[in-house]
Amino acid sequence: MSGMHRRVFLKGGAVALLALGAPPSFLARAAMAASPLGGSSGRRKTVVFVFQRGAVDGLNMVIPFGDAEYYDARRSIAVEPPRRGDVERAIDLDGFFGLHPALSPLHELYGRGEMSIVHACGSPHPTRSHFDAQDFMETATPGDKATRDGWLNRLLAATDPHACGCDHGHGGAPTSGAGDGRTLDDAAAHASDHAVGQSALAGGGDGGQLLSPLRGVALSAEMPRALRGRYETVAIPDLAEFGVAGGRDESLEGAFDRLYRTKDTPAGSMDLLTDAAEGSFDAIELIERTDPLSYAPRAGVQYPGTDFGRSLLQIAQLIKADAGVEVAFADIGGWDTHVGQGGASGQLANRFTELGRGLRAFCDDLGDRMEDVLVVSMSEFGRTVRENGSGGTDHGHGNCMMVLGGAAAGGQVLGRWPGLEREQLYEGRDLAITTDFRDVFAEVALRHLGADALEANQMESIFPGFAVNPARFVGALR
Amino acid sequence: MLQRTLAAAPQLAVALLGLGLLDAVGSAPPDRGLAKKGPHARKVVAAAVVDESAVVPAAGTTDTLAARHLLSRGTFGVTGDDLEHVLDIGIDAWLREQLEPEGFDDEEMAARLARYPAAGMEQDELYERFPPPQVLQRQLRRMGGDRDSVGFDQEAIQTLRLELGVQPPGRILFDLAGAKLQRAVYSERQLEEVMTDFWFNHFNVFFGKAADRWLVGEYEREAIRPHVFGRFEDMLVATARHPAMLFYLDNWTNVAPDSLRTEDANFERLRAMPADRRRRFLERRGVSAEQIEQIQVVMERRRNMQQGINENYARELLELHTLGVDGGYDQDDVIEVARVFTGWGITRPGRGETGPIRFSYQSRLHDPTDKQVLGETVRGSDGMGGMKEGLDVLARLAVHPSTARHLATKLAVAFVADRPPEGLVEELESVFLETGGDLRAMTFALFSSPHFYDPALYGAKLKTPFELVASALRVSDATVMPSRPLFETLNEMGELPYAAQPPTGYPDEGEDWSNSGSLLQRVNFAIALAAGQIRGVRVPDPDDPSTVVARVLPGADVTALAPAIADELQASGTPPREYGRRTLGLALGSPEFQTR
C-alpha cells in the first residue's frame, strides 16, 4: 500500500497547499528538495543501473590475460594479451586483467580513477536460465521466485519517509505486497493529515520532505523487475512523448486523470491501473515543469544512436534538469553469444563498442555532476570458460560488474580471483563466484544512496534473507 | 521503431546461405509414425467434453456477466453480437462450436488475408520475393560490381530491389502481424485464434533472428495452429522438428563433439586459430593476399559449423516447453537431453541458392552413446535409429506430471488470474494427465470450470497491449487495412507479434504490462484510434454518443463510467459534434476497458 499512499499524499498535498496559497510550482521544488538518499552531504545522489541482458561474457569483457588457462580454454575467441601499440589486443589494467579493446573509451576513466571493476562476481544460485537469473538479480533474492517486487523498489520505499517512516502504521513492510486492506479513501484521508501537518514546512521553503515522482525511473517501454513493486516508479519510453495525446490536450489529460483516480473499488488488475495512473499524471506534471528536453548533450558528446544510447541521453537530461531522479535503469541486450561471438573483433566486440561509447558519452556529458552519479553494470550470469563448438560460449556462472563515477574507488580490479584451472571452476566448467552481487548492491545502497541511515529491519526489507555486512564489501566505492 | 526492432536482430546466420559445406546430410524420415492421432485420442476428447458439460449453465440460463466473462477470455474482445449469441445458445454450445473451428466458413477471412500475401507464402516464394541481402549482393558482383567489396552497399542493393520488384525481408513481418490482427479482429474462430496466440507464445520463436524471417509464418501454420485443439505431444514434436525452432534455439548447431573433425592436421591447426592470428600466420609464410582472403572465408565458415554440444534447445525444452523450471531436472539432464538431440538439424541450401530450409536428421552428427535423462537410460544408437531417442524423450516429456502442472498453471495464469485458484490448476492438471495431453479437453475444462466462473475473477486480468488493440478494433467497428502505424503502436507498447526475442515469449501477468509509461501509451492509442488518426484504420463516427459506452463494454456495468464520461464532455466544453468520437476515446482508454 505504500506506493499508493505516497501518491495520494502528493496529490492531496498539492490540493492542501494550493488551498493555503502555496505557489503552484511546489512539485518542481519537491523534486529539488534534498533527498533522504543524499546521505550526510545533503546533495542528491543518483545511481544508474545498466543491465546487460542475455549474460555477457565477462571473461572477454575484462580479460584475465595473466591466467594461462584462459587461452587454453578459448582457442578461437580469446583476446590476446596487451602489447603496446596494438589496438586489437586487451588493454592492460593491472598486469593481470585487461579491458576488451572495443571498450577503449572506458580505459581513460579507469586511468583517471573513475571506474572500478569487480570480477568473479555474481549470484550464488546455480540456475543457468536467463529469466530466473535476471529475476533473482533484480529481486536480489537468489533462489526465491516468490519475491514479487524488485530490490530497487524496496530501497526507494525504505528511504521514503512518507512510505515507511510515519507513525500511523499505515502499511505493512514494503515487501508484504499484499497491502493492509486499507481502502484508497482511508489512505487519502490519512495522507491529507500529513499534508496539513507538512504544509508549513513545504510552503515555507524549508526543503520539506516532498519527494519527486521520478525518484525511480526506467528509460524503457517495459518496467524492469528491479523497479517493480508497490512503490510507484515510472517507465518512460520517450521523454518527448510522455503525456496524454503527446501532451497536447489538457482537458483530455484531466479527464483521464479523473477517470482513473475515482476508481474506488480496486480489485485484481484495477489497483495496478490506478497506481500506474497516479504515477503517470504526477510524472507528466513534473516533466513539464523541469523541462529536461531543453538540456542538450555537452558539445562534442555523441551518444550511440541506439535504444541504449537514447536511454542514457535521457537519463542525463533528467539529472541535469534536477527532476529528482535517484535510481535510473537502462537495458542493453544482445549478449547471449552462443554462436560465433568473435574475439578482439566480431559480434561481441560490436556490442562492447556500443556499451563503451554509450557509457563514456554519459560520463562526459554529465561532467562534474558525475561526482554525485554512479553507474553500475550487471548481467545475470557469466558464460562458460571454455568456448563451445559454435565459436561461442554457453550459459555459465561468475561474471564481472563495472562501477563508474566520481565515487568509484577507481583504477582497480577488485574481488578475489578464483582461477580457471578445472578444479577451481564452478561445477568444473564456469568461473567461480567470490563476491555475491548483493554485496556490491549493498555497498552502493549504503555508501552512495545513504541507506546507512536505515535501521537494521529496513535493510532486511531491502535484502530479505541476506545479512548485509560491510566487512564483506569489496571497496568498489570510495 | 519497427526498423529499430528489425535492425536489432542478431546477424547470426548469414552462414545459412551458401553453406553446402557439410560432407553428408541425412535425409529426413517420413512423417508417418510421428502423428499419433487415432480414433482412441478422439474418443477421449469426446468423453471429456461430455463428462464436463454438467457444470456449465444450460442454454437460456446463462447470466450476462458470466457470458461476458467467457468472451473476455475466450475471444479477442467482447462484442455485442457475440454476447447475444452466447446468451442465445448457452456457454456449453458456444464452447463446442468454437472447439470445432472447421464448422465456421473461412471464405471471408481468406479474402481479408489476401491483403497480407507474405503471411501465407511458402518458403520458395518468400525467398523469391523477399530475397536475403546477401543474394542481392552476389547478384551485384556478378553484374560487374566491385569484386573486392565485402560489406553491403545498401544503396546499390535498394536500387536492385526496385529493379527486380522485390522487397526487403523485414517486410514479411508486416504481413505476418497484419494477418494475425485481421484474424484476431474479424475471425469467427475466436477461440482458435486465442489459443494459437497462447501456444505460439509458449513455443516462441523470434522473427528477427536471421533465417527465421522466412520460417515464422510456416511455423505457426504447420507446427502450432493445427495442434491447438489436438494432442500436446504432436505440437511438441512439430515444434522440435521445425526449422524455425531448430534455428532459433540453435539446435542445428548441436552436434556430437568431434563429429566434424577431419584427418588433416594442418587444416585443424589453422582452423583452431583466431582469425587475426591466422592472418598474420599466413602473411609470415608469404601467402598471397588473395589466397589469405579465400582461406579466411573457408575457415570462418568451418568454424561457424559445429564441433560440439549446444544446450540451448535442450534447456528451454525442459524449462519452458515441458517440465517447467521447478519440474525436477538438473544441469546434467540438460546436457544429456542436448546429447539426445545432436544431429537434429536443418537442410542448408548450397552456396548461392536460397531454397527452402527443412528439418533434417543427420545421423553422422549424432552422439550414439547412451544417455541418462531424468533418471532413466536412453539407449544410444547410430544410423537413423538415433533420431528415435529424441522422439522417445519428447513422448516422455509430453505426458510427464511436471509438464501437466506447468501447462495447467500457465493456462490458468493466462486465462483466469495472475494468481489462479489452486483448485483450477489441479483440475486442468488432471484433465491433461487423464487424456494424455489432449488440448481440446483441456481447453474445454478451462472455460467450463466453476473456478473459471468465480465472479471475483471477472475483470481480474489486465489486457496485454495486443489484446487491447484487437479488442478496441473489434468494438469500434473499425475497418483495418494494412497499417504501419498500427504496428508501430504495438511495438512501442512492447507487444509486436512475432517480435518477442526471449524464448519465454511475451509475459502473461498484469504486473509486466502495467506501469506509468505503458498506461499513457494505452490512453494515447485510444485517443488516436477514436479520432481516426491511425493511418490505415477507419473508425466510423458513432452516430449516437449515448450508446457508445455500452457498445464498447457490452454486458458490463457502466452505470458509473457512462455518466462520468458525459460529465467530462460537458465540463471540457467539447462541441456536441465531437461527442461521439470523444466518448469513444474516453471509453476505450478507460480503466474498465483495460481489463478483461
DSSP notation for A134-148:
HHHHHHT-TT-TT--
Identify the weakest region by mean pLDDT among B254-263, B314-323, B405-414.
B254-263
Q: Which of B440, B459, B478 corresponds to the end of one domain?
A: B459
Amino acid A153: pLDDT: 93
Å from B91 to nearest chain A CA? 24
A352, A105 contact by CB (below 8 A):
no
Candidate from A102-106, A166-170, A371-375, B219-223 with smallest mean pLDDT = A166-170
pLDDT above 90 as % of chain B: 63
Query: Is the pLDDT at A138 greater than 60, yes or no?
Result: yes
Task: Give the dihedral sign, CA B93/B95/B100/B105.
Answer: positive
Nearest to A388 among B308, B457, B590 (CB): B308
pLDDT digit string, tens, across residues B63-117: 999 999 999 999 999 999 999 999 999 999 999 999 999 999 889 999 999 999 9
- Distance from the Cα of B519 to chain A's closest Cα (Å) equals 7
Residues B490 and B554 placed together within one structural domain of the fold: yes
For residue A142, list chain B residues with Cβ-Cβ distance below 8 A.
Answer: none
- pLDDT higher than 60, residue B334: yes
Residues of chain A found within 8 Å of residue B309, distances taken between Cβ atoms: 388-389
**B559 is a domain residue:** yes
Q: Is the Cβ of A354 closer than 8 Å to some Cβ of chain B?
A: no
pLDDT of A41 above 80: no
Tell me the residue range of the domain where B436 lies.
35-104+400-459
The pLDDT score that the predictor gives to residue B24 is 26
Q: What is the pLDDT of residues B474-488, one digit of tens each?
A: 999 999 999 999 998
Residues B449 and B555 in one domain: no
Give me the mean pLDDT over the A74-79 stretch: 96
> Which residue intervals of B324-385 are DSSP H helices?
331-340
Whether the predicted pLDDT of A173 surpasses 80: no
Checking phi first, is residue B343 left (phi over 0); if not, alpha (psi -120 to 50) or beta?
left
Is the pLDDT at A161 greater than 60? The verdict is: yes
B250 and A338 within 8 Å at the Cβ level: the answer is: yes
What is the per-residue pLDDT for B273? 76
Q: What is the pLDDT of residue B298?
A: 62
Query: Best mutation site among A76, A125, A238 for testing chain B: the one with the most B CBs within 10 Å?
Result: A76
Q: B579 and B480 in one domain? A: yes
Contact across the interface for A221 and B494, Cβ inside 8 Å: yes
Does a structural domain hold residue B211? Answer: no
C-beta atoms of A273 and B591 within 8 A = yes
- Chain B hits for A427, Cβ within 8 Å: 331
In chain A, what residues touch B534 (CB-CB under 8 Å)?
A: none
Give the sheet arrangement for strand A98-99, strand by strand. Answer: A62-63, A98-99, A91-92
Percent of chain B with pLDDT over 70: 82
Per-residue pLDDT of B337-380, as tens digits, reads 999 999 999 987 554 556 789 999 989 889 999 999 999 999 99
Which of the two residues, B204 and A450, has the higher pLDDT score? B204
Asked which of A109-113, A125-129, A138-142, B369-373 is least confident by mean pLDDT, the reply is A125-129
- Chain A residues with CB under 8 Å of B510 CB are 268-269, 272
- pLDDT at residue B264, as a whole number: 57
Strands of A168-248 (E only): list them. Answer: 216-218, 234-235
Distance to chain B for A382, nearest Cα, Å? 15
Domain count, chain B: 3
pLDDT one-digit tens code per residue, B278-297: 888 888 888 887 777 767 66
Instruction: Check residue B302 and give its pLDDT.
Output: 53
pLDDT at B211: 87
* Cβ <8 Å between B312 and A131: no
> Does B287 map to a domain?
yes
In a domain, B243, yes or no: no
pLDDT band at A242 (very low <50, low <70, confident <90, very high): confident
B385 occurs within a structural domain: no
The reported pLDDT for the residue numbered B203 is: 98
Tell me if B418 is assigned to some domain. yes
Which H, E and C letters describe B253-299, residue by residue? HCCCCCCCCCCCHHHHHHHHCCHHHHHHHHHHCCCCHHHHHHHHHHH
**Residues of chain A positioned with their CB less than 8 A from the CB of B417:** 268
CB < 8 Å to A333, chain B: 8, 501
Q: At residue B138, does pLDDT exceed 70?
A: yes
Residue with the larger pLDDT of the pair B275 and A324: A324
pLDDT in tens, A426-448: 988 999 999 999 999 999 999 99
Per-residue confidence band for A456, with pLDDT thresholds at 50, 70 and 90: confident
Q: Name the pLDDT band for B300 (thresholds 50, 70, 90).
A: low
As its CATH architecture, domain A44-160+213-249+293-472 has 3-Layer(aba) Sandwich (3.40)
Q: Percent of chain A, pLDDT > 90? A: 58
Q: Is the pLDDT of residue B499 over 70?
A: yes
Does the pLDDT value for residue B454 go beyond 90?
yes
Q: In terms of domains, do B570 and B474 share one?
A: yes
* Residue, of A136 and A1, whose pLDDT is higher: A136
C-alpha–C-alpha distance, residues A317 and A402, integer Å: 22
Q: Which of A223, A345, A388 comes nearest B310 by C-beta?
A: A388
Residue positions counted in chain A:
478
Q: What is the pLDDT of residues B533-546, one digit of tens each?
A: 999 999 999 988 88
What pLDDT score was predicted for residue B279?
81
B527 contacts A389? CB cut-off 8 A: no
- B486 lies in the same domain as B564: yes
Indicate the average pLDDT of chain B: 84
pLDDT at A264: 57
* Greater model confidence, A192 or B55: B55
Disruptive mutation site among A72, A388, A395, A427 for chain B (greatest number of B CBs within 10 Å): A388
Residues of B with CB below 8 A from A76's CB?
A: 272-274, 303
The residue that leads in pLDDT, A473 or B43, is A473
Amino acid at B514: S
Lowest mean pLDDT among A19-28, A225-234, A404-413, B393-402: A19-28
- Domain ends where: B304, B333, B368? B304
Q: Taking CB atoms and an 8 Å limit, are B276 and A307 in contact across chains?
A: no
| Band of pLDDT at residue A12, cut at 50, 70 and 90 | very low
Is the CB of B304 less than 8 angstroms away from the CB of A388?
Answer: no
Least CB-CB distance to A279: which of B12, B510, B516?
Answer: B516
Asked whether residue B552 carries a pLDDT value surpassing 80, the answer given is yes
The residue of A6, A139, A145, A252 whose CB has the most chain B CBs within 10 angstroms, and thus the best one to mutate to test that interface, is A252
Pairing mode of beta strands A115-122, A435-436: parallel
Cell of B321: 516447453
With pLDDT > 70 as the criterion, what percentage of chain A qualifies?
Answer: 79
Minimal Cα distance from A264: which residue of B?
Answer: B560
Q: What is the pLDDT of residues B209-232, one digit of tens each?
A: 878 999 999 999 999 999 999 999
CA geometry: angle B53, B57, B61, nearest 5 deg = 150
Give one word for B595, left, alpha or beta, with left for phi > 0 and alpha for psi -120 to 50.
beta
- Are B520 and A243 in contact (CB < 8 Å)? yes
What average pLDDT does the segment A85-90 reach? 94
Q: What is the pLDDT of residue A23?
A: 37
Q: Which of A51, A184, A241, A256 to mutate to test the interface with B (most CBs of B within 10 A)?
A: A256
Min Cα distance A408 → chain B (Å) is: 32
Quick check: B527 and A280 CB within 8 A?
Answer: no
In this prediction, residue B502 carries a pLDDT of: 78
Query: Could you give the CA distance from residue B371 to residue B333 in angstroms, rounded to a whole number?
Result: 9
Q: How confident is the model at residue B244 (pLDDT cuts 50, 70, 90)?
A: very high
Which chain A residues are Cβ-neighbours of B13 within 8 angstroms? Answer: 339
Please say if the pLDDT value at position B274 is more than 80: no
Instruction: Say which range, A254-268, A351-365, B7-21, B379-393, has the weakest mean pLDDT.
Output: B7-21
Asked if A116 contacts A414 with a C-beta cutoff of 8 angstroms, the reply is: yes
Which of A244, A272, A333 minimises the CB distance to B523?
A: A244
pLDDT band at B29 (very low <50, low <70, confident <90, very high): very low
Confidence of residue A211 (pLDDT cuts 50, 70, 90): confident
Q: Where are the domains of chain A?
A: 44-160+213-249+293-472
In a domain, B161, yes or no: no
At B11, give phi and psi (nearest 5°).
-90, 55
A254 near B CB under 8 A:
yes
Q: Are residues B492 and B565 in the same domain?
A: yes
Helix, strand or coil, per DSSP, at residue B57: coil
Q: How far is B190 from chain A (nearest CA, A)?
A: 24
Q: Say how many CA atoms lie within 13 Å of B218 toward its Cβ.
A: 21
In a domain, B344, yes or no: no
A386 confidence band (pLDDT: 50, 70, 90): very high
Least confident of A188-202, A323-337, B129-143: A188-202
> Is residue B570 located within the same domain as residue B485?
yes
d(CA B332, nearest CA chain A) in Å: 11
Contact predicate B463/B78, CB 8 Å: no
Q: Are residues B481 and B548 in the same domain?
A: yes
Rg (CA), chain B: 27
- The pLDDT value given to residue B421: 96
Q: Is A319 on the interface with B (CB under 8 A)?
A: no
Residue B55 has pLDDT above 50, yes or no: no
Residues B583 and B550: beta-carbon distance below 8 Å: no
Q: Is the pLDDT of residue A239 over 70?
A: yes
Q: Measure the CA–CA gap between A7 and A27, rounded to whole angstroms.
A: 12
B590 shares its domain with B470: yes
Confidence of residue B265 (pLDDT cuts 50, 70, 90): low
What is the SS3 string spanning A206-218?
CCCCCCCCCCEEE
- The distance of B325 to chain A (nearest Cα, Å) reads 8
Residues B493 and B587 in one domain: yes
Which residues share a beta bridge with A62? A99
Q: In A, which residues are within 8 Å of B511 by CB distance?
A: 148, 228, 272
